[in-house]
Amino acid sequence: MPAVVVVGMQFGDESKGAVVDYLAEWADLVVRYNGGSNAGHTVVANGEKYKLHLMPSSVVRGKRGVLGAGVAFDPEVFLEELRDLKSRGRNIDVLVSLKAALLLPYHKELDSAISGGRLGTTKRGIGPAYQDKMARVTGLKVADLFSPRFPQRLKEVLEIKENELRNAGILTGDVEEYYLKLLAKAEEWRNSLSAFIGDDHLEVNEAIAEGKFVVFEGAQGTMLDVDHGTYPFVTSSNPVAGGACTGAGVSPLAIDFVVGVMKAYTTRVGKGPFPTELSGDIADYIRDRGGEYGTTTGRPRRVGWLDLPMLRYSAMINGIGYLAIRKLDVLSGLDRVKVAVAYEIDGEEVRIAPPYVDELEKAKPIYEELEGWKVNDWNEFVKGGWSSLPEEVKNYVSFIEREVEAKAILIGVGPDREMTIPTPHLREIIPL
């Protein structure tokens, strides 16, 4: 069985959780390789909604999951999700990497005080945690939490960060008192987490060597990648497919396929360039029908027409051969659907999106219009399968396949797990 990376092709929120959940029916292992609780992966199964932030999307099916070394691990969020899932009758089987960056309460407070408003972050502490990881002297990992030297390491870190915490208004009293409070929390975390920690690199590589079906789950999207996205309006990690190798400790040669997840239109949360952004009645129509409000923040998402230059860039960066196209049902009812096939930038036609803010802010979309579709009840098409879909929908999908040079394997026409329609190409990844 293959090793498959599932990656977002746009600005995140592409419904990767639903795609991973669908593939998890056959998966032996699902590995989150980047990001942290800033992710919002929603899975709807049997009418019940699960909003996951840190847990791999496989947990809804009770499948084995891994939080890899590339994850910013927040013990409080993990334990909160664990309690919620268990209360709903879910058996959680997850391994947390000893190498994952440890996110502490002050990271969230720093995020809110410093960067949240300027960059439109989720204020979950992800940026400050990764900042400390890269600084090394102030970075702590999950392994440190379980080390006898943790009290000393934490004290050393706070000595370095004291001025930063005071300047941000986070530390107002005695640093020793603050230190002891963190130490007490750490003791609680150790007791609750000891059954979950381990070596992600051994678990994942052994599964691949044994021929098991391994799914790598990325958080956020390609255009939010810290190196390849619209910097500085990006996340602090690598959502791209290559991030699966560094974030889980596997060779690029171990990856068999990359599946790009995209919406039938485009959305973005927070600040940053958005060439196909809409306003007015059509924007409201798409936002309301698509429930375009952040899973983590609840913020209304910006919406726009599908952006093919962005998808071509994403396909190139990630090596995407297969597509999962979500939320085709949201566009139902529109007489015509626009698609940006290129940009005009400084009088020149550009077919692959430049990932630079200055260039994208000048980009004027060049649109083509396709025939819309009007479907009130998608259930008959779910039962009938790919061949039964309206010709306008199949033409839209085929148009995307040709332009992006990738094959669609899954079509989403509703939030529920059951509203995903496989295409014949799915057999190229999973022997059905």
Of 414, 366, 372, the closest CA to residue 390 belongs to 372
Given 138, 166, 193, which residue is the final one in a domain? Answer: 193
Q: Are residues 272 and 390 in the same domain?
A: yes
Within its chain, how far is the Cα of 54 from the centroid? 10
107 is catalytic: no
Q: Are residues 364 and 228 in the same domain?
A: yes
Q: Are residues 304 and 368 in the same domain?
A: yes
95: helix, strand or coil: strand
13 is catalytic: yes
Q: Are residues 212 and 271 in the same domain?
A: yes
Q: Is the bond leading into 232 cis (omega within 30 degrees of zero)? A: yes
* Residue 354 lies inside a defined structural domain of this protein: yes
* Residue 95 lies inside a defined structural domain of this protein: no
321-365 pLDDT, tens digit each: 999 999 999 999 999 999 999 999 999 999 999 999 999 999 999
Number of domains in the chain: 2
Average pLDDT of the chain to the nearest whole number: 94
Residue 170 confidence (pLDDT): 92
Confidence band, pLDDT 50/70/90 cuts, at residue 293: confident
Of 290, 313, 310, the closest CA to residue 301 belongs to 290
Task: Give the C-alpha distances (Å, rounded to integers) separating 146 from 126, 151, 195, 393.
Answer: 21, 10, 12, 53
Q: Are residues 170 and 212 in the same domain?
A: no
DSSP string of 208-227?
Answer: HHTT--EEEE--S-GGG-TT
4 and 214 Cβ atoms separated by less than 8 Å: yes
Q: Are residues 127 and 276 in the same domain?
A: no
Q: For residue 418, give the CATH number of its domain.
A: 3.90.170.10
Residue 47 confidence (pLDDT): 79
* Residue 345 lies inside a defined structural domain of this protein: yes
* Residue 264 lies inside a defined structural domain of this protein: yes
358-389 pLDDT, tens digit each: 999 999 999 999 999 999 999 999 999 999 99
d(CA 96, CA 143): 10
* Residue 85 lies inside a defined structural domain of this protein: no
Residue 112 confidence (pLDDT): 82
| Catalytic residue from among 41, 53, 107, 228 | 41
d(CA 357, CA 177): 44
Angle, helices 308-318 vs 391-404, to 10°: value is: 50
* Residue 93 lies inside a defined structural domain of this protein: no
Q: What is the pTM of this model?
A: 0.94
| Catalytic residue from among 13, 21, 111, 329 | 13
pLDDT of 115 over the 70 cut? no
Q: Are residues 385 and 268 in the same domain?
A: yes
pLDDT of 432 over the 70 cut? no
152-181 pLDDT, tens digit each: 999 999 999 999 999 999 999 999 999 999
Domain containing 148: what range?
101-193
Residue 275 confidence (pLDDT): 98
Please enumerate in sequence order all residues whose Cβ is within 8 A of that of 314, keeping only pairs 6 or more positions apart, or say none: 7, 9, 10, 221, 222, 223, 260, 320
* Residue 118 lies inside a defined structural domain of this protein: yes
Q: Tokens at residue 136, please?
A: 């090394």
Confidence band, pLDDT 50/70/90 cuts, at residue 121: low
